[in-house]
Amino acid sequence: MAEEKAETVKNKQVLLRDYLNGFPKESDMIISTCNIIRLKIPENSNGILLRNLYLSCDPTMHGLMRKPESPRRTSIPPCKPGSVSGVDFIAGMPGLTAYVGFYEVSNPKKGERVYVSAASGAVGQLVGQYAKSMGCYVVGSAGSKEKVDLLKNKFGFDDAFNYKEEHDLDAALKRYFPDGIDIYFENVGGRMLDAVLLNMRKHGRIAVCGMISQYNLEQPESVSNIAWHLYKRVRMEGFTVFEYLHLHSRFLDFVLPDIRKQKITYVEDIVEGLENGPAALIGLFNGRNVGKQLVAVAHE
Amino acid sequence: MAEEKAETVKNKQVLLRDYLNGFPKESDMIISTCNIIRLKIPENSNGILLRNLYLSCDPTMHGLMRKPESPRRTSIPPCKPGSVSGVDFIAGMPGLTAYVGFYEVSNPKKGERVYVSAASGAVGQLVGQYAKSMGCYVVGSAGSKEKVDLLKNKFGFDDAFNYKEEHDLDAALKRYFPDGIDIYFENVGGRMLDAVLLNMRKHGRIAVCGMISQYNLEQPESVSNIAWHLYKRVRMEGFTVFEYLHLHSRFLDFVLPDIRKQKITYVEDIVEGLENGPAALIGLFNGRNVGKQLVAVAHE
């Protein structure tokens, strides 16, 4: 019976041409339509067939595209050039990332001063809302007027600024945080981190979620103000969501009621069609996306 | 009666000439013998007169000599030029520093790989011994053959090296830690920290006790490998002993039995006479001292 129902379809794929060498480009990926698959559930199986409607693009995928021996890759297994990644990216991953980075790593307290870089991104927009919901003062930075408006008017940040318009980041931070920063949710790295260190308060915490400005540089930007760790007794900690997946159901219990009540909101940036996936992924490293980047691959 | 016993003496003092501007020099301090004091216990008092036998020289004192508004000063109140500091440096402070930095900040586990820089110093020599006593593998670095010999032959480090003889610190660390470093006890900063970051293991910890190579630089050395915090989920935390003084009696209960049984040993570098105090203090920043630097000011 099952045999009769089997359907043969072309399976469009995005394949990595070769491991990255510097900044990712669209030409590092190939759209392949050569693969033919049969949609068939094995006999006597309770399996079901799923159709993907959306795919996720996330900055951490840069690590999948690095040589296995590269120290810059993330903790998840790398792709093999020419074949499909075996890693499933959970579509709610940025929400869980924001949740563990803020509540588990940053040790926040009511009334603290929180700064989020890349704040309109999939993770940053949620960190800001979590921080507001527990009574923190929250400022975010982003790379366009549109994104800054979103932070202030949609996500409820206390304030926000366009880092591209600030030639002196230290001065900008002193304007928004005259009494210093308790928690820095780090998404970008480089000169932003250097300026933040000068503005940390005693016992401040830096949760290193990402350093998107640094991944693809041949020579990473250097940071000069590391000794502020000592002067201010700062704690800085890198984390990855893949080590907190056991908190996923607790996270859903926490966030879903607030999403239903529209107390937590979000912005998605959806491109249509798998063939636009490579450009969408690369756009993350240029700041082209506004909010969580998705690729719609089917509509039913 | 007390009045009759009062004795008038010259009180020799080391005074700060002016706040530091760059590297401290002997000429930043003045030896003054102008102050006359009367050794007298107030009537009807239970007070006693104390004679100082030893004074302590500690790297953290550089912070006392900075302008009050300098972010580089430590958490203790600064000196006033021309007057005596009101801060008592507890002579057991380096031992407590090593204790809290290792046990409270570094979260050590048996069998872990521990690296200590400036390891023959007052703090480093104890960190290495604490780490050995709980079954860690411990390597230290120092700046002379004499100090390296001390680390290996007196303090029981598993291995040690002279950082001045290594033009490639990354390669040196890979030689001593082929499987990476779990705990880095940071006393120096700068290019050493940069090399260590490349060699940290997953979930490694960096306890920032000091950055003696950096305090007196006009422009601190920059660090390029900060993103390793993310790649390896490293936690780096600055601390100061002055925030852990409540642990002092617990520390004494911990360390005194081992000192009596000679399971913990130490090396002191004692200069004679207060007039040699300024040179001894400045010697700390040149690595002249071998072990804990003291100044003997009296012998009974």
Q: Does A101 touch chain B (CB under 8 A)?
A: no
Q: Give pLDDT, residue A142.
A: 97
Q: Cα angle at A231 between A225 and A233, to 5 degrees?
A: 105
- CA B253 – CA A134 distance, rounded (Å): 41
Does B229 contact A215 at a Cβ distance shorter than 8 Å? no
CB-CB under 8 Å, B225 with A224: no
Give the dihedral of Cα atoms A24, A26, A27, A31; nearest 10 deg.
Answer: 130
d(CA B198, CA B174): 9
User: B234 and A238: CB-CB below 8 Å?
Assistant: yes
The answer to whether the beta carbons of residues A222 and B223 sit under 8 Å apart is: yes
CB contact under 8 A, A227 and B189: yes
- Chain B residues inside the 8 Å CB shell of A220: 224-227
Distance between CA atoms of residues A137 and A183, nearest Å: 10
Instruction: Indicate the domain borders of chain B.
Output: 2-65+268-296, 93-260
Query: Is the CB of residue A215 less than 8 Å away from at least one CB of chain B?
Result: yes
Taking an 8 Å cut-off on Cβ atoms, the answer to whether A229 and B221 are in contact is no
Touching check for B189 and chain A: CB below 8 Å?
yes
- Other C-beta atoms closer than 10 Å to the C-beta of A268 total 12
Nearest-by-CA chain A residue for B226: A223
Instruction: State the SS3 of chain B.
Output: CHHHHCEEEEEEEEEECCCCCCCCCHHHEEEEEEEEEEECCCCCCCCCCCCCCEEECCHHHHHHHCCCCCCCCCCCCCCCCCCCCCCCCCCCHHHHHHHHHHHHHCCCCCCCEEEECCCCCCCHHHHHHHHHHCCCEEEEEECCHHHHHHHHHCCCCCEEEEHHHCCCHHHHHHHHCCCCEEEEEECCCCHHHHHHHCCEEEEEEEEECCCCCCCCCCCCCCECCCCHHHHCCCEEEECCHHHCHHHHHHHHHHHHHHHHCCCCCCCEEEEECHHHHHHHHHHHHHCCCCCEEEEECCCC
Cα separation, A189 vs A205, whole angstroms:
15
Q: CA-to-CA distance for A275 and A277, rounded, in angstroms?
A: 6
User: How far is it, in rounded angstroms, from Cα B277 to Cα B283?
Assistant: 10
Q: Is some CB atom of chain B closer than 8 A to the CB atom of A220?
A: yes
Tokens matching residue B115: 């690296």
Among B74, B193, B240, the residue with its CB nearest the CB of A226 is B193
- Measured CA to CA, the distance from residue B169 to residue A43 in angstroms comes to 61
Q: Please, what sign has the CA dihedral across residues B121, B122, B127, B133?
A: positive
For residue A14, how many C-alpha atoms fall within 13 Å in the half-sphere facing its CB? Answer: 19
How many C-beta atoms surround the C-beta of residue B64 within 10 A?
A: 19
Tell me if chain B has a CB within 8 Å of the CB of A120.
Answer: no
What pLDDT sits at residue A74?
A: 62
- Give the mutation candidate from B185, B226, B232 for the A interface (greatest A CB count, under 10 A): B226
pLDDT recorded at residue B5: 61
The predicted pLDDT at position B120 comes to 94
Is B222 within 8 Å of A219 when comparing Cβ atoms? no
Interchain CB contact of B223 with A (< 8 Å): yes
Residues on chain B touching A70 (C-beta within 8 angstroms): none
Residue tagged 């929400």 (tokens): A95
Cβ of residue B219 closer than 8 Å to a chain A Cβ: yes
User: For the domain A93-260, what is the CATH code?
Assistant: 3.40.50.720
ipTM reported for the complex, 2 dp: 0.87
pLDDT at B207: 98
Task: Return the structure tokens found at B206.
Answer: 């960096």
User: Does B174 touch chain A if contact means CB atoms closer than 8 Å?
Assistant: no
- Nearest CA-CA distance, residue A179 and chain B, Å: 14
CB of A238 closer than 8 Å to CB of A262: no
Distance from C-alpha of A116 to C-alpha of B276, rounded to nearest angstrom: 51
CB B269 within 8 A of CB B293: yes
Report the residue of chain A nearest B213, measured CA to CA.
A227
User: Cβ distance B150 to B294 under 8 Å?
Assistant: no
CA A12 to chain centre: 25
Nearest CA in chain A to B197: A71
Residue A208 touches partner B, C-beta closer than 8 Å:
yes
**Can you read off the two tokens belonging to residue B12?**
């020799």
Q: What is the per-residue pLDDT for A2?
A: 43
- Give the CA diameter of chain A: 73
- Put simply, the answer to whether A224 touches B219 (Cβ < 8 Å) is yes
The Cα–Cα gap between B63 and B216 comes to 10
Bridge partners, B205 (sequence order): B183, B235
Q: Is the separation of the CB atoms in B17 and B27 below 8 Å?
A: yes
CA distances from A4 to A1, A46, A290 (A): 5, 17, 45
Give CA–CA dist B151/B149, Å, rounded: 5
Q: How many secondary structure helices (H) and strands (E) does chain A include?
A: 9, 11
Please tell me whether residue A167 adopts helix, strand or coil conformation: coil
Residues in a beta bridge with A236: A206, B236
- Residues in chain A predicted with pLDDT less than 50, given as ranges, are 1-3
Chain-chain contact of A238 with B223 (C-beta, under 8 angstroms): no
- Residue A297 phi, psi (nearest 5): -110, -10
Ranges of residues in chain B with a pLDDT under 50 are 1-3
B237·A232 Cβ contact <8 A: no
Look at residue B45 in the predicted model and tell me its pLDDT: 86
A192 contact B CB<8A: no
State both tokens at B135: 């079954």
Domain A2-84+268-296, CATH among 1.10.150.120, 3.90.180.10, 1.20.1260.10, 3.40.640.10: 3.90.180.10
Please name the fold of domain B2-65+268-296: Quinone Oxidoreductase; Chain A, domain 1 (3.90.180)
Look at B215 and A227 and tell me if their CB atoms are within 8 Å.
yes
Cα-Cα-Cα-Cα dihedral sign, residues A121, A125, A127, A128: positive
Nearby residues of A265 by Cβ (< 8 Å), 6 or more positions away: A129, A154, A155
For residue B51, the model assigns a pLDDT of 85
Considering CB atoms only, which of B202, B208, B228 is closest to A229?
A: B208
